[in-house]
Structure 1
Amino acid sequence: MKRTHLSAAIAMACCMSVGVAMAQTANNDQTQGSQSAAGSQQRVNASSTSNTTTSNATERDVKQMSAVTVQGQSLSLGGGLMSVQTAPKAVSTITRDAIEKASPGSNFTQMIGTIPGVNAATDDVTGLANGHYSMRGYDSSDIGMTVNGAPITDTGSYSVYATEYGDSENMGDITVLQGIPDIDMPDSGASGGHIGWATIDPSHQGGVDFTQSIGSNDYRRTFVRLNTGDTGPVRSWISFSDNTANMWRGEGDLRVTKVDGKSVWTIDDNNSISASLQYSRQSNDEYAAVTKQQEEQLGYNWSYNDTWIPLNNLKGSALKTAATDDENYWALHTNPYKSYMFSMDGEFKLADSTHLSVIPYFWYGDGGGGGGGVAQESTSLINKYLYANVDLNGDGQITNSTKTNFSGGTVYAYSSALTYRPGVIIKANTDLGMDNSLEYGFWYERSRKSQAEDYGLVNPFTGQPDDIWLNSSYLLYPGGQIEQYYDEYTTTELKKGFVTDNWTPNDYWTFQAGLAYLYATRTGFAFDYPNSTTQTSTNFNNNWHRILPAVGVKYQLDERNQFYIGSGKTFRVPSNTAILLDSLAGVNNGAPEMTWNTDLGYRYYGDTISGSADVYHSNYFNKQEVGYTEQGSEFYTTIPHMDMRGFNGELSWKLAQNWTVYSSYTYTEATIRGNLDGGLGNAYDGGNGIYPTNGKTMPDTARNIGNLSLGYDDSRIWATLNGRVTSSLYGDYANTESVGGFTTFNFSAGYRFGDWGWMKKPYIKLNVTNLTDHEAYSYVYSATLLSKSTDATALAKYLYASAPEYGLLEPRAFVLTFGTSFQ
């Protein structure tokens, strides 16, 4: 195939196939797209997140930024762990330099672990088991997220599943706004900050990039990217990766396939269009979250049951006990999911003073999580929930189950979601003069989401579900309807208008003021136990709207020193689950989460030392948590007020010509103000009541986090040693259970060879995590209102208590990688 035809084919694939990727070739020219803010006189676009907060900069700002950035480019800012920033609020960026030295399967949650304010962890260092992160005490569902300018947080829960999004070879840079999202961000749930990352632009040089990795727990990864190079005004790349690993704890596998792509059409010097796609398909098993009691009694490597108890030779109570135990069989705890995202970015110069950016996108996701359940055999024609006219235990007959003579078996419980999410962001920037710039635009999105928990058949002899995706082999009622726990449908419409004015009256001062108006509507319906004799249902139509201001002031003393203060208001539209549960429970708790964030900071960029320091304060209102009605039904209650304050700092020191030191420190106080009303249920150990949370610390919030990294790079050999210290975490809101802090060390090293004929820039690298093989609870998987620890005995006498669950730090693991380009 001729190269021109190949480029057209890839461009069409990017525009029609839907998906996205993040890739980096060994070619240096590919990194230029992700560094457009460095020394460029153009404002940034979706191909870069570096200094993305200056997209509305004035002409004077752009010249100042160029001078400051050029000054910063002469430094080695922590080997890519730190970047020059100019926004009047807290911002940090991880660049390509750091990303290319990380383990190639790493997802974005692992990349941002050193950023001040961020606490990140993962169940598996391969990057194939998503990840967990929080920021300044806000959990991940309170943090906005974009890729190439398009939003990827779940439309209903605001969760982000990091494994879905791209390969590290394709990542350009990652920017974290620790407190105040930009006014123009497409966020409806970002009460606590924003994360954005971008894919690299295609290279001007054609060829093939290849990476092969092997590692602990039979980790195997193959990555291939085809670069068309320049084919007229269009250049493209498309990549494929196959990723597999055994789970380090318990039985099961991780299996993920990704296809990513990007095309850029350079119309002329002032106009361009890019198209990106990301596709991911995973059929993973799940890691079991553990309580402290489980870990202490069953060991650090405990997980779901690895032995299935065959059901065919059992009767009555013995059969019921076995079926209940088999609910925790590892093969039932699955996480199949497929998603793709297509986005475009049109950058157009409408006039000498006006620039237009148009980002349409479409996101699709289908999949969910599996578990176990117990159903009973029945020949009845009545639709009784979790009764079925099926031989569930494999004894060759259907026996009516009774209270005294149980007959049934284990079934596959599959909770899934199907999402269609189209939207568009349009914004323009008009220079009103050398000193004044106005950015304005709107965001519109209308998503549809179906959620259900269905039941499927399980082989009673082996414990394997007939279909982990549950496209067939359903558990059915006599009339042929699928047996479900719930069936829900939500349409969410988001409208946001925004305007920001940036004024730089001289070379020292920058004043920024912005205003956004967000209007959100959720409509739909929900059924509990649909088509059964106990069916309940509800319809809902809710809307929320808020005016969201933001202001910032920066004083640029000189090219080295900056001072700034910024403040902004954010709010979070209540999640799907909150709306659905409240509607089913007949409760009206429609108050959205809302935050006022304020940053006060200083930045210094010197010849050998650069650093930033930021103190912040956030007033956080109406944090949503689950409570119970008098009938024991779940609904969403709120923590009326939280007080978040702390310090974030980072420092880069060029120790010698080839040596760099990077450190970051995070101090966080996330204090609950007031007691939490958990509802007045009577179905849970005496019911929920008022929990004594006033003055307590938010669960899963480390008071102190420190990172220290020592790096060497002489352009041929490189090595990095990183240490991280994390303080203790509370597992419940009443602070009656905590897990201790821990320290970990990671090591990476590599060698860059010279060209070997048609093999260009081959390299080899080794990544080792948890060098000391330390064991620790790494994050809180599910926080409870009150733990069941002995410290909570007195409270547990009159308040419902349950054990928090945690993730565990993976033991020492290594990944060995070889990569090269063919041209």
Structure 2
Amino acid sequence: MKLNTLFATLLAVGVGGWTLSTLAEDTVDIGNVKVTGQSLGNGLMVQEESAKGRSTVTKEAMDEMAPTANAIDKLKYTPGINVSSTDASGVSGTSFTMRGMNSDQVGVSSDGIPINDSGDYAVYANLLGDPENLGEVFVTQGSSEIDGPHIGSSGGNIGLVTLRPTKDFGVFVKQSVGSNSLNKSFARINTGDLNGFKTFVSASHTEGEKWRGKGTVRADRVEWNTLFEDGNGNSTNAIFKYSTQENYNYNTLSKAQFQKSGRGLDYAEIPIYNSSGKLTQYYKINRNPFENASATLTQRFQLRDDLALTIAPYYFWSNGGSFSGQSATGLSSTSDKAGNYDLSGLAYDTYYRPSWTESWRPGVNTKLKWDFNETHSIDVGYWYERARQRQTQPFISITENGTPEDIWGDYNSGNQLKDNNGATVQGRHQYTVTPAQKVWVQDMWTVTPDLTLTGGIAYQYVERDGNNLGSLYSAPEKRDARYHEFLPNFSARYQINEQNQAFYNVTRNMRTPPNYVLYNAGDSISLAPELSWNQELGWRFSQDDMLLSATLFHISYKDRQLSTTNADGDYEMLNVGSVVNKGLELEWSGLLPYNFNYYTSYTYTSAEQQDDVTTRNKELPTSGKQLANVPKNMLNASLGYDNKRYYGNVAAKYVGSYYGDLTNDQEISGRTTFDINAGVRLPVDKKILKSAAIRVSMLNVFDKEYLSSARTVVLNAAPVNGVSAATPYYNVGEERTAMVSFEASF
């Protein structure tokens, strides 16, 4: 574990008193959840009350899935979302699309803390924490929450809610082992109620070998949650989380590579040298070290019977990077194209050059809730964050055995290449400050006991201040941009009768352009934010042994942002016009005789581009084409058994075909995969041993070979109108994988 001064300081503060956590009701609006009796579909579906499309995966369901899967993996059967991970470890790469939106267009938060990257809104598996400590994971598939702390969400939100500490002392331990030497050790201690304070602290270690190619994955985590409640509606909840990892990357494959060499192709397993005798390719240079820490302190004050104030300051820090290129980076005395370094006398060599990012994100979310009278409840809130991000590309020497001298690219560390003046040579050197704020007001009007109307408006203002400090390829330059919009929302929920409920909502969302626009070539700085209107019309049916929901959705957004290269090979951001996503989501779950249960979900998504794209002064025929990486059809179905001692389920997942390019020239076939989960809850005396279980999971039972999702989307995969073809690259679906876990509570 690579500890640093920041981690040591945060841990000391946490031990001294507060740590990080939030109350479920004080995270971004999680809605109301009713669970009566046995959860349906093994907890994959619960009765929802929000006036919007929403799905919740309960702790019961998460416990019965693959033991090392992360929070996003746990959503793999949820309607509207298509999840793909590079392996089953839970700490390697994870990507998803939701209703035609990429993961970097969807807001993701953990206990109210935004965990999308503040620059490009990417979501990384190492930021998701230990799933053993989650009480639920919820998804609002189309409409971002009015109080959501996001600047990059065109639609939808995923929320992770941490378990509360228990009132009784207890110890929980879990050991998981699986294919490819995968193993995870997890332990959590609850202190119980100590003068009103309840705390848990946990630690975990995960490691394993890559399932294709050579290399390992490894991660260590520490989490702490303290809760104080005075019994009068006042509470303080603090959570701290730290994670560090040192992974080897998986290579992406083109369709041609996959068809020729199969799914096992990866980075070179033996060193490859160029004609100068310098290393160019070797899996040991394709590394991904990363560490992050987060803390939040959520305080709820019941000022009067009808007035409550919530204040939730937070802090997020991350430091890490990755090198996933196909060859080491060459450097010599003639490599300085921008004149920022003195490289005279530097002999040609190749280097490990990770793309490195360090982020600091302090912020605060506040909300005042006023129950004005019996029919009106008014919420007023304010969110502020000042994110700072430093992005570099240092050059680190490669040893004779092909390993970098140091895989960590910490800023200006001593093992990085310096020029003749002592300056660290950088392939990029950028520092971005992003102050963001949002003020909002919302009124929930209970018109009748059966009809509730909610209306609100938010004003969001985002600044991007970029300082290009100069690199091998660019001269020093400062740029800035400002973005601001009013974002209204309206929803209606009508309880037709005890079993039937209807809802409608419309929400406007904004996605601020990524920080790349401050540094890319051309007129990227003038790129407008993505603006979307999200509409949903839905119906829910519920009874004791069955839940059913159906949602129609329509998302229209303009000024879609896409990163590409110009004729000179420089990166630039393009506005590729308007897109309309529309479709249907169905979800059905229930109980059957003899302790059997079922769950199924279906999603149809049409993600149609409305405009042709102009690139390099030439027009590409994209109008009317499906967005890349968006399957039109997805179907999930599971049949389970649970008699409170033994459980088991078989789950099938169908994902339809999708494209790797905007012109729809390269199609990837659909696939159907099967998973099996089973377990036994062991009889215990309840005195010392409170509970114990053995759980078994097998993923991709029939060992289906497939490309799971597009990692690199291109404009056109075949020559069109004089524009040369580009090559999309894809993530590869994992082979059949088995795991078993042993757990016990004391």
Q: Counterpart of 1:447? A: 387
Corresponding residue for residue 813 of structure 1: 737
2:431 aligned with 1:489: yes
Q: Structure 1 residue 633 and structure 2 residue 614: aligned?
A: no
Residues 1:648 and 2:585 aligned together: yes
Q: Is the 8 A contact 2:340 2:475 kept in 1?
A: no
Residue type at the aligned position of 2:299: G
What one-letter code is carried by the residue in structure 2 that aligns with 1:636? M
1:356 and 1:751, CA in 2 relative to 1: closer, same or farther beyond 3 A? same
The residue type paired with residue 256 of structure 2 is Q
C-alpha contact 1:347 1:358 (8 A) present in aligned 2: yes
Deviation at 1:245, TM superposition (A): 0.6
Residues 1:216 and 1:75: Cα distance change in structure 2 (over 3 Å) = closer
1:590 Cα offset (Å): 2.8
* Distance in 2 of aligned mates of 1:15 and 1:786: 57
Contact 2:140 2:158 in 1 (8 A): yes
Secondary structure at 1:297 match in 2: helix
* 2:190 maps to 1:227: yes
Which residue of structure 2 aligns with residue 425 of structure 1? Answer: 365
Contact 2:312 2:364 in 1 (8 A): yes
Give the 3-state SS of the residue equivalent to 1:558 in structure 2: coil
Q: Is the 8 A contact 2:147 2:440 kept in 1?
A: yes
Residue-by-residue CA offset, 1:696-721 (whole Å, 9 max, x unaligned): 10011010000001111111111111
CA displacement, residues 711-764 of structure 1 (integer Å, 9 cap, x when unaligned): 111111111111000100100001000110000000111111122563331111
How far the C-alpha of 1:191 sits from its partner, in A, is: 0.6
**Structure 1 position 426, deviation (Å):** 0.3
- In the alignment, the residues of structure 2 paired with residue 520 and residue 173 of structure 1 have an alpha-carbon distance, to the nearest angstrom, of 31
CA contact (8 A) 2:342 2:420 kept: no
Per the alignment, do residues 420 and 340 of structure 1 end up closer, same or farther by CA in structure 2, a change over 3 Å counting?
Answer: same
Q: Which residue of 2 aligns with 1:373?
A: 328
SS at match of 2:576: strand
**Secondary structure, counterpart of 1:203 in structure 2:** coil
Which position in structure 1 is the counterpart of 2:458? 516
Give the 3-state SS of the residue equivalent to 1:715 in structure 2. Answer: coil
Map of 1:686 onto structure 2: none
Q: Is the 8 A contact 1:19 1:280 kept in 2?
A: no
In the alignment, which residue of structure 1 is the partner of 2:665?
Answer: 736
The structural deviation recorded for 1:477 is 1.6
Instruction: State the 1:695 CA deviation.
Output: 0.6
What is the alpha-carbon root mean square deviation over aligned residues? 2.3
Cα deviation 1:359-379 (Å, max 9, x = unaligned):
110000000112543334559
The equivalent of 1:468 in structure 2 is: 407
Aligned to 2:513: 574
* Contact 2:20–2:297 (8 Å) recurs in 1: no
Query: 2-side partners of 1:554 and 1:387: how far apart?
Result: 67
Deviation at 1:133, TM superposition (A): 0.6
Correspondent of 1:550 among 472, 479, 489 = 489
How far off its partner does 1:627 sit?
A: 4.1
Partner Cα separation in structure 2 for residue 374 and residue 495 of structure 1: 40
| Residue of structure 2 in register with 1:674 after alignment | 611
**Contact kept in structure 1, 2:232 and 2:302, CA below 8 Å:** no
The answer as to whether partners of 1:644 and 1:670 remain within 8 angstroms in 2 is yes
Tell me how far apart the structure 1 counterparts of residues 662 and 333 of structure 2 sit (CA, whole Å).
Answer: 43
Instruction: State the AA in 1 paired with 2:80.
Output: G
2:710 matches 1:777: no
Aligned counterparts of 2:11 and 2:468: Cα–Cα separation in 1: 42
Q: Give the secondary structure class of the aligned counterpart of 1:301.
A: coil
Distance 2:16 2:152 in 1: 28
Read off the aligned partner of 1:507 and give its amino acid letter.
P
Secondary structure of the corresponding residue to residue 230 of structure 1: strand
Structure 1 residue 252: Cα displacement: 0.6
The two structures have a TM-score, normalised by structure 1, of 0.85
1:104 aligns with 2:105: no
Matches of 2:402 and 2:554, distance apart in 1: 52
In the alignment, the residues of structure 2 paired with residue 292 and residue 381 of structure 1 have an alpha-carbon distance, to the nearest angstrom, of: 36
Deviation, structure 1 residue 559: 2.1
* Structure 1 match to 2:302: 349
Distance 2:195 2:549 in 1: 44
How many pairs align? Answer: 731
Contact 2:627 2:662 in 1 (8 A): yes
The one-letter code sitting in structure 2 at the alignment partner of 1:52 is: I
Aligned with 1:73: secondary structure?
coil
Please give the secondary structure, in 2, of the residue aligned with 1:578. Answer: helix
Q: Where does the alignment leave 5 or more consecutive residues of structure 2 unmatched?
A: 1-9
Give me the whole-angstrom Cα distance separating, in 2, the residues matched to 1:211 and 1:598. Answer: 43
More moved, 622-631 vs 241-250: 622-631
* Partner Cα separation in structure 2 for residue 332 and residue 745 of structure 1: 34
Deviation at 1:508, TM superposition (A): 1.6
Q: Which residue of 2 aligns with 1:768?
A: 698
Q: Take 2:303 and 2:316, find their aligned partners in 1: how far apart are those partners?
A: 29
Determine the C-alpha separation between the residues in 2 that align with 1:537 and 1:482.
15
Letter in 1 for 2:443: D
1:747 maps onto 2:676 in alignment: yes
Q: Deviations over 1:621-666 (max 9, x none)?
A: 1111134456543211112110110001100121125211000000
Q: Summarize deviations over 1:744-800 as a string: whole Å, max 9, x none.
A: 00011111112256333111110110000110111111111111xxxx24x2x7103
How far the C-alpha of 1:130 sits from its partner, in A, is 3.2
Equivalent in the alignment of 2:199: 236
Match of 1:199 in 2: 162
Q: Return 372-381 or 778-787, whichever deviates more.
A: 372-381
C-alpha distance in 2, partners of 1:205/1:19? 20
CA contact (8 A) 2:480 2:518 kept: no
Q: Which runs of 5+ in 1 are unaligned?
A: 1-8, 22-32, 35-43, 55-64, 312-316, 391-397, 401-407, 681-688
Cα deviation for residue 537 of structure 1 reads 2.8
Moved more, 366-375 or 186-195: 366-375
Q: Tell me the distance in 2 between the aligned counterparts of 1:190 and 1:318.
A: 48
- Distance in 1 of aligned mates of 2:428 and 2:499: 58
Q: 1:234 to 1:20 in 2, by over 3 A?
A: closer
Change in Cα spacing, 1:561 to 1:383, as seen in structure 2 (3 Å) is: closer
Q: Could you tell me which residue of structure 2 aligns to residue 723 of structure 1?
A: 652
* 2:21 and 2:298 in contact (8 A); partners too: no
Report the equivalent of 1:27.
none
- Is the 1:343–1:360 Cα contact (8 Å) retained in structure 2? yes
2:316 is aligned with 1:363: yes
Return the alpha-carbon distance in structure 1 between the equivalents of residues 355 and 201 of structure 2: 33
What amino acid does structure 2 have at the position aligned with 1:515?
I
Query: Who wins on radius of gyration, i.e. which is larger?
Result: 1
- The amino acid that maps onto 1:13 is G
Q: In the aligned structure 2, how far is the partner of 1:774 from the partner of 1:236?
A: 44
Q: What residue identity is the alignment partner of 1:466?
A: E
Q: Where does residue 684 of structure 1 map in the other structure?
A: none
Is residue 2:43 matched to residue 1:80? yes
Secondary structure of 1:268's counterpart equals coil
Matched to 2:357, the amino acid is: A
Distance 2:624 2:470 in 1: 37
- Equivalent of 2:54 in 86, 91, 112: 91
The amino acid that maps onto 2:741 is T
Q: 1:150 to 1:765 in 2, by over 3 A?
A: same
Distance between the aligned counterparts of 1:379 and 1:506, measured in 2? 76
**Match for residue 30 of structure 2 among 52, 55, 69:** 52
Counterpart Cα distance in 1 of 2:317 and 2:17? 13
How far, CA to CA, are the matches of 1:389 and 1:772 in structure 2? 58
Distance 1:466 1:388 in 2: 21
**TM-score, with structure 2 as normaliser:** 0.94
Structure 1 equivalent of residue 689 of structure 2: 759
Contact 1:742–1:776 (Cα < 8 Å) also in 2: yes
Match of 2:281 in 1: 328
CA contact (8 A) 1:589 1:636 kept: no
Match of 2:637 in 1: 708
Kept in 2: contact 1:383–1:477 (CA 8 A)? no
CA displacement at 1:104 relative to structure 2:
2.3
TM-superposed CA distance for 1:585, in Å, is 3.1
Q: Percent identity?
A: 30
